[in-house]
């Protein structure tokens, strides 16, 4: 699929609420995003320190705007992390987005919950321990190291079909291919809801990852695949950051990408990354 067509890219220096107000309704097939977590992260422009009630209210505002521009079969993959000292944030947010309040209907239905695993250690049958991924230790005698984040799959109906095998894995026991009728003779099974996706190794954070809260390109590519990689797919990231979703859109060969950000520096980095990927 990569390279199948030229992806139309639109980047705007706008607050996402204003940007989405300018978009036509039901014109987006896929949304992959990670909003500020309200955990005091040091962004260049955004102040990540509002109180919890105000933060949830703001998330309801932008999520309703996202819903308006999504088609009926669209998916929102919402990446949310937490801090060991503030573990309830992802759960409070997803409850706010999926529960009715007063006369308001729920904004979304939670269709799947994925666990983005950044680092993992596995003991083999031989008793060896294999460790892989991006391990970021914390200095604490109260909390264990936090090696995962959530990716909530939200839809309007809760019944959006997914291309599960496109993001799947080969069978370890090949006899299962013919033993189970649902395989259709193909050596691919659903990966499930645990996604081990480490960050790429970098030499300089300032040059290669100049943003305090990014996700890997491969995470967005996984969302594109499981939603259904299609050259007609129109992708939106209302919190563009340094353009990871834009790069994934180009590499996946989908129709279009729209991104909003309030930081000109991040948009410049996005344009540089887009140029680098188009010239590869």
Q: Give Dmax (Cα) for the chain.
A: 59
Pairwise CA distance, residues 249 & 270, whole Å: 12
Q: Quick one: which of 108, 228, 100, 104 has its CA closest to 156?
A: 108
User: What is the edge-to-edge ordering of all strands in the sheet holding 234-237?
Assistant: 8-13, 256-261, 234-237, 28-33, 70-80, 148-155, 109-117, 194-196
Whether 15 is covered by a domain: the verdict is yes
Domain assignment present for 165:
yes
Residue 103 predicted with pLDDT over 50: yes
| Phi, psi (deg, nearest 5) at residue 89 | -50, -55
What residues make up the domain containing 74?
8-123+130-278
Any domain includes 3: no
> Residue 191 falls within a domain, yes or no?
yes
Q: Looking at the domain assignment, is residue 2 inside a domain?
A: no
The whole-number average pLDDT for the span 169-181 is: 78
245: alpha, beta or left, given left = phi > 0 and alpha = psi -120 to 50? alpha
CA distance 239 to 15: 9
Residue 177: pLDDT over 90: no
pLDDT above 60 (res 48) = no
Write the pLDDT tens digit of every residue in 60-102: 999 999 999 999 999 999 999 888 878 899 999 999 999 987 7
Q: What is the pLDDT of residues 230-268, one digit of tens each?
A: 899 999 999 999 999 999 999 999 999 999 999 999 999
Residue 75 counted as domain residue: yes
Report the b/e string of 36-59 with b at 16+ CB within 10 A. bbbeeeeeeeeebeeeeeebbeeb
**pLDDT score of 206:** 52
Nearest to 77 by CA among 34, 40, 45: 34
Q: Residues 138, 180: contact at Cβ < 8 Å?
A: no
Helix (H) or strand (E) holding 227: helix 217-228
pTM of the model: 0.88
Q: Could you tell me the sign of the dihedral formed by the alpha carbons of 153, 242, 134, 202, in that order?
A: positive
Per-residue confidence (pLDDT) for residue 86, from 0 to 100: 81
Give residue 201's pLDDT. Answer: 63
CATH code, domain carrying 175: 3.40.50.150
Look at residue 154 and tell me if it is in a domain: yes
Residues with Cβ within 8 Å of residue 250, at least 6 apart in sequence: 7, 9, 257, 274, 277, 278
Whether 1 is covered by a domain: the verdict is no
Please give the tally of structural domains in the chain: 1
């Amino acid at each position: 699929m990569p390279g199948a067509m030229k992806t139309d890219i639109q980047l705007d220096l706008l607050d996402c609420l204003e940007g989405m107000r300018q978009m036509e309704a039901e014109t987006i097939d896929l949304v992959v995003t990670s909003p500020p977590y309200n955990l005091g992260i040091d962004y260049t422009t955004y102040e990540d320190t509002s109180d919890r009630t105000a933060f949830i209210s703001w998330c309801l505002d932008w999520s309703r705007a996202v819903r308006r521009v999504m088609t009926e079969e669209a998916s929102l993959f919402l990446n949310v992390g937490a801090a060991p000292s503030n573990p309830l944030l992802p759960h409070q947010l997803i409850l706010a987005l999926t529960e009715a309040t007063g006369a308001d209907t729920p904004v979304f239905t939670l269709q799947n919950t994925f666990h983005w695993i950044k680092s993992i250690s596995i003991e083999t049958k031989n008793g060896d321990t294999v460790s892989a991924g991006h391990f970021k230790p914390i200095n604490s005698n109260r909390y264990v190291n936090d090696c995962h984040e959530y990716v909530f799959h939200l839809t309007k109906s809760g019944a959006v079909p997914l291309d599960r095998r496109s993001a799947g894995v080969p069978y370890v026991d090949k006899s299962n291919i013919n033993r189970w009728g649902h395989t259709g003779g193909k050596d691919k099974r659903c990966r499930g809801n645990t996604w081990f996706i480490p960050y790429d190794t970098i030499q300089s954070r300032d040059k290669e990852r100049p943003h305090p809260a990014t996700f890997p390109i491969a995470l967005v590519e996984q969302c594109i695949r499981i939603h259904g990689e299609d050259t007609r797919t129109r992708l939106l990231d209302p919190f563009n950051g340094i353009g990871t979703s834009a790069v994934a859109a180009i590499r996946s060969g989908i129709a279009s990408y729209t991104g909003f950000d309030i930081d000109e520096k991040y948009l410049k980095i996005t344009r540089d990354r887009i140029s680098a990927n188009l010239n590869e």
